[in-house]
Copies of this chain bind each other. A is one copy, B any other.
């Protein structure tokens, strides 16, 4: 278990897109941009069941998350290797609304798809680098 610094928590709380890395069935890496949140210790992602990244994380908990500030990507960057500790439906709809507030400035996530089941993915950092 690795601990985020306060500067890294600040970076994660700002509205920068994160890159989430999951592992495909053959072990090769898959990358996609996601909204990101933290409680100060864990990384929280919100996605929907049935997507490639969701299926990958259900099969193999090992992930990576990278975030940088595009205005200062050399000094403000965090690279995390970690593992998924929980994928939960509870609170996931309220959580995507809070992320919509953070990233879009709106109170309600506007792209909600009633056919999808949203989930919160909790990621514990194992290794953290960054400047």
Contact = CB atoms under 8 A, between A and B. Distances in A.
Given A17-B68, A19-B66, A77 B29 contact: no
Interface residues of A, number: 28
B17 A31 contact: no
A19 B27 CA distance: 18
Interface of A: 16-17, 19, 21-24, 27-33, 62-66, 68, 70-71, 73, 77, 79-81, 129
Q: How many monomers of this chain does the complex have?
A: 2
Contacts of A79: 30-33
A79 B22 CA distance: 12
B27 A62 contact: yes
A66 B28 contact: no
Residue of A17, A24, A66 ringed by the most chain B CB atoms within 10 A: A66
